[in-house]
Amino acid sequence: MADQGTGRRPKYRRIADELRTAIEEGRYRPGDRLPGENDLMEVYDVARMTARQALSVLRDEGLAEARKGAGVFVRSFRPVRRRGIPRLAQGHWGTGRSVWSADIEERALVVDQLEVTETAAPARLAEALGVPDGSPLCVRSRRFVLDDKPVLLSVSYLPAAVAAGTAIATPDTGPGGLYARLAELGCKPAHFREEIRCRMPTADESDRLALTAGTPVILICRTAFTEQGQAVELNEMTLDSGSYVLEYDFDA
């Protein structure tokens, strides 16, 4: 245990600090194997549990990953750079491109779980969309996988009065996605509002996103409005924080 009087850190923390510095300085590069428990026990003259805790810290921080039977390796991190402003520009989805294409460049993004349903609006969704409580909503629930890794859960809610009987209520919304379809229906999004917060994942989120222990999620709630100020979509997204960089580039 750390000496509270001197502010000394526990041994496993100090070992993790040194390994982290080595990773940041490039002495261990992505894909390299880190010293194992036996190596750390010998170099630092510590017990196995201390060595195990040190490696666990790096895994929990998303810097390392364990490979069964092979050891602990520096994680290869190629983040999804979520470009918050250009991805929502009409010049992007209005030309038939998906908003997601602004984030992934040449990489392959796959929707491996997709469900389109209808539900009665609970109070919080009814208020956000400006419809009466219990009004029917079209719900589009998706899981996005990038480089064979689940990175995002997304659920869109739209008034059924707008979406029912259209391509929005089908699995494939077509070129430009649901924003292009909303525009065709006379409900073109003209303004967006996003709220962002972080928390630890629920058990279901951790399972569906294949998160390592200690990895938080980023929650983004986006509302799309028409020029008249009518909310036409509420999109609740859950992101693997270890897979994303949020980028906002705008003039002063």
Given a cut of 80, is residue 104 above it in pLDDT?
Answer: no
- The CATH class for the domain spanning 11-74 reads mainly alpha
Given a cut of 80, is residue 134 above it in pLDDT?
Answer: yes
Specify the higher pLDDT residue, 124 or 99.
124
Given a cut of 90, is residue 84 above it in pLDDT?
Answer: no
* Residue-level pLDDT at 60: 79
* Confidence bin at 3 (pLDDT 50/70/90): very low
pLDDT averaged over the chain?
A: 87
Long-range contact pairs involving 148-151 (C-beta distance under 8 Å, separation at least 24): 149/210, 149/240, 149/243, 150/112, 150/208, 150/209, 150/210, 150/240, 151/80, 151/209, 151/239, 151/240, 151/243, 151/244
* Residue-level pLDDT at 4: 43
Please give the C-alpha separations between residue 199 and each of 87, 202, 220, 238, in angstroms, as whole numbers: 25, 9, 11, 10
Q: Are strands 217-225 and 191-199 parallel, antiparallel or unpaired?
A: antiparallel
pTM (two decimals): 0.76
Alpha-carbon distance of 125 to 108, in angstroms, equals 32
CATH 1.10.10.10 segments of the chain: 11-74
* Residue-level pLDDT at 42: 95
Average pLDDT over residues 119-129: 96
Closest residue by Cα to residue 162 from 205, 217, 225: 225
Question: Cβ contacts of residue 84 below 8 Å, gap of 6+?
Answer: 194, 246, 247, 248
Specify the higher pLDDT residue, 98 or 33.
33
Specify the higher pLDDT residue, 163 or 252.
163
CATH 3.40.1410.10 segments of the chain: 80-247
Superfamily of domain 80-247: Chorismate lyase-like (3.40.1410.10)
